[in-house]
Amino acid sequence: MTPLDRLSLAHLWVSILAFGAAAAMAFMQALSRANLDLPWRSAKMYYLSVTAHGVLMALVFTTFFIMGFGYVVATRVLGRPVAAPRLAWTAFWTALAGTLGAAAAILSGRATVLYTFYPPLRAHPAFYIGAALLIVGSWLWAIALLATYRAWRRDHAGEPAPLAMHGMLATVIVWLLATVGVAAEVVLLLIPWSLGWTRTVDPILARMLFWYFGHPLVYFWLLPAYVIWYTVLPRAAGGKLFSDPLARLVFILFIVLSTPVGFHHQFMDPGVPAGWKLLHTFLTFGILFPSLVTAFTVTASLEVAGRMRGATGLLDWLGKLPWGDPLFSSVALSMILFAVGGFGGAINASFGMNAVVHNTAWIQGHFHLTVGSAVALTFMGACYWLVPRLSGRDLELKLLAKVQPYFWFLGMLCFSIANHLTGLMGMPRRIYDASYGGSAAASQWFGLTGLSAVGGLLLFTSAGFFMLVMIGTGLAGPKREPEAIEWAEPLQPVDPKPSLLDRFGLWTALAILLIAIAYAYPLWAHLQMPRFGSPGYSPF
């Protein structure tokens, strides 16, 4: 194993272990849904575990995977060492220290504020400082990747970046733009307040800063998954990428549109004028476009693969695809789940209609399809592909790896269908117990909460299979010859001349302009109002 692979692999292992711990938490939550009378079940444990599950899944599993994957792309696609290895390791240790600090605060019961940590619920300062360190670590990672790209650029003046790197650059830019918001929230508002240096905090200002970050956060998760769909999946399927320039266009659109949309998470908030919510709604629907283009290009690439494998009919190419390969099946199934989640997302974003689903179980049904499947299942599939190639060990327990994606798919269908429906029937999310003192309305949710628990068990089983395969591979996988990591080729050769789509500076400037239009005035106007802050409250 080269030192470079050790860097990527270290990130993947933190990511995998965080996933395993978070899945264990989910097990208890899923059983809680079924209202089983288990001895260790309590409200305190429930909310503590939802906090740990949300933070570990949404912030740790994803971020560490993406950091590691970024290094894989930089070293294997650009074919050069990371430009600043010391900086890269500092980034790793900083992010890990932050994660451990926040985890300690959560597990000791001093930060039961959920992963959105809305003030005035107040956590131990270690939670906020840990979060800040995780972000600082990710910034150092961004610098290390950008430095590597610049070094490559010096030797390849006038060439467009390879597509995978193009996608990772978009990821880095979206992340840098987004994290400004949460860094401001945590460093300027929450850390001083949790240390007692300031007395109060304005909860709506905090929510504005959080959701300025919170929506592009989902694209930070999704773009590396798209990189895998565009540059890994077609090859795993035995074919080629249908269109390279359109993929570039998609990544550029995400840079431009990811951030100026955060008010769609605050539709139901007082203190935010409806006109600004409407503007953000329009931009939000704009981001549907690159995802719709992706749906076509990736599906077309799979058809190309099926035909290269000998399919001739209208749909028989589907059957020719390698459904027994865990990389392929994970990613393909994740895309199907994402399509379902996308429709739900259009409903969430529909301004007035959001009132029907806001903060109901529908929302947890929705995001387990998107981040919990499109992203997470893609990343799991990528681990089956990357861990053997980086560590030089063959996959252990291959049969479990083969069936794992199907368990996830089935479990997620039960879990998310049940949650979408109970949400429409008015069941709130984030509740330990759904009985509401035997209320008639609440009693109608019960059959479906059982289905959700069954889905949760299937998901937990799937996560367990994944962990067994990974840990088995890491500890006991048979040694094998190092193997090149290969990437999909486009159907048409890439144009050697860079185009407008390779002008990252230009598109970033446009993104900043749109952010200014969408946020500068509402934030300024908000700060002008007479506002009253809130002191902190402990959740119990």
Partner 1 sequence: MNVPLYEKLWMWASGVLIVAFLTTVAIGVASSALQPPSHVETIDPAKVWTDPRFTARGVTVDSAGVTVVAVAIMFAFNPAELRVPAHRPIKFRLTSADVTHGFQIVGTNANTMVVPGYVSEFTTSFDRPGEYLIVCNEYCGLSHHVMSGKLIVEEARP
Check if the beta carbon of residue 420 is closer than 8 Å to that of residue 367: no
Helix/strand/coil for 81 = coil
Residue least distant from Cu ion (Cβ): 215
Region of 16-24, 64-72, 115-123, 177-185 interacting with partner 1 (CB under 8 A): 115-123
Instruction: Report DSSP letters for 173-227, one per residue.
Output: HHHHHHHHHHHIIIIIIIHHHHTTSSS-B-HHHHHHHHHHHHHHHHHHHHHHHHH
Residue 215 binding: pick among Cu ion, ligand HEM, partner 1, none (C-beta 5-8 Å cut-off by kind): Cu ion
| Residue among 78 and 363 whose Cβ is closer to Cu ion | 363
- Residue count of the chain, please give it: 540
Residue type at 462? S
Check if 429 is active-site. yes
> Given its phi and psi angles, is residue 45 left (phi above 0), alpha (psi -120 to 50 degrees) or beta?
alpha
Residue 54 binding: pick among ligand HEM, partner 1, Cu ion, none (C-beta 5-8 Å cut-off by kind): ligand HEM
- Quote the radius of gyration of the chain (alpha carbons, Å): 23
- Binder among 8, 364, 473, 508 for ligand HEM (CB under 6 A): 364
Stretch 444-503 residues interacting with partner 1 (CB under 8 A): 499
Check if 367 is active-site. yes
Site string for partner 1, 328-347 (x = CB under 8 A): ------------------x-
Check if the beta carbon of residue 376 is closer than 8 Å to that of residue 22: no
Check if the beta carbon of residue 124 is closer than 8 Å to that of residue 538: no
| Residue among 235 and 368 whose Cβ is closer to ligand HEM | 368
Residue type at 339? A
- Binder among 35, 90, 198, 534 for partner 1 (CB under 8 A): 534
Interface with ligand HEM, residue 381, by CB under 6 A: no
CA angle 103, 187, 112 (to 5 degrees): 35
Helices and strands (H and E) in the chain: how many:
22, 0
Instruction: Report DSSP letters for 105-129, one per residue.
Output: HHHTTS--S-TT--TTB---HHHHH
Interface with ligand HEM, residue 111, by CB under 6 A: no
| Residue among 56 and 208 whose Cβ is closer to ligand HEM | 56
Check if 124 is active-site. no
Residue-wise burial string across 409-437, b where 16 or more C-beta atoms lie within 10 A, e elsewhere: bbbbbbbbbbbbbbbeeebebebbebeee
Cβ count within 10 A of residue 103: 20
- Binder among 104, 293, 410, 512 for partner 1 (CB under 8 A): 293
Q: What's the sign of the alpha-carbon dihedral 425, 426, 428, 434?
A: negative
Choosing from 267, 280, 429, 460, the catalytic residue is 429
Region of 328-336, 363-371, 482-490, 500-508 interacting with ligand HEM (CB under 6 A): 363-371
Check if 406 is active-site. no
Beta carbon of residue 57, minimum distance to ligand HEM (angstroms, whole number) = 4
Region of 127-135, 157-165, 459-467, 494-502 interacting with ligand HEM (CB under 6 A): 459-467
Helix/strand/coil for 433 = coil
- Binder among 319, 324, 352, 478 for partner 1 (CB under 8 A): 352
Interface with ligand HEM, residue 170, by CB under 6 A: no
Tell me, rounded to whole angstroms, the distance of Cα 275 from its chain centroid. Answer: 29
Site size for ligand HEM, by CB under 6 A?
Answer: 26
Phi/psi of residue 201, nearest 5 degrees? -140, 145
Phi/psi of residue 335, nearest 5 degrees? -70, -35
- Binder among 215, 320, 368, 393 for Cu ion (CB under 5 A): 215
| Residue among 137 and 344 whose Cβ is closer to partner 1 | 344
Interface with ligand HEM, residue 119, by CB under 6 A: no
Interface with partner 1, residue 274, by CB under 8 A: yes
Interface with Cu ion, residue 11, by CB under 5 A: no
Stretch 40-79 residues interacting with ligand HEM (CB under 6 A): 50, 53-54, 57-58, 61-62
How far is it, in rounded angstroms, from Cα 491 to Cα 497?
17
Choosing from 219, 328, 407, 415, the catalytic residue is 219
- Binder among 41, 240, 430, 526 for ligand HEM (CB under 6 A): 430
Check if 166 is active-site. no
| Residue among 53 and 248 whose Cβ is closer to ligand HEM | 53
| Residue among 151 and 311 whose Cβ is closer to partner 1 | 311
Stretch 171-230 residues interacting with partner 1 (CB under 8 A): 202-204, 207
Q: Where are the beta strands (DSSP E) in 413-515?
A: none
Q: Nearest Cα to 112, choosing from 99, 131, 101, 127? A: 127
Q: Nearest Cα to 133, choosing from 110, 87, 107, 101? A: 101
Region of 135-143, 147-155, 350-358, 399-407 interacting with partner 1 (CB under 8 A): 350-358
> Given its phi and psi angles, is residue 436 left (phi above 0), alpha (psi -120 to 50 degrees) or beta?
left
| Residue among 310 and 438 whose Cβ is closer to partner 1 | 438
| Residue among 2 and 359 whose Cβ is closer to partner 1 | 359
Site string for partner 1, 26-55 (x = CB under 8 A): -----------------xx--x--------
Region of 76-84, 213-221, 306-314, 422-430 interacting with partner 1 (CB under 8 A): 422-430
Long-range contacts of 280-284 (CB under 8 A, 24+ apart): 280/518, 281/349, 281/350, 281/351, 283/257, 283/514, 283/518, 284/349
Choosing from 368, 384, 465, 519, the catalytic residue is 368
Q: Which residues are catalytic?
A: 215, 219, 366-368, 429-430
Residues found near ligand HEM in the complex (CB under 6 A): 23, 26, 29-30, 33, 50, 53-54, 57-58, 61-62, 114-115, 364, 368, 371-372, 376, 429-431, 456, 459-460, 463
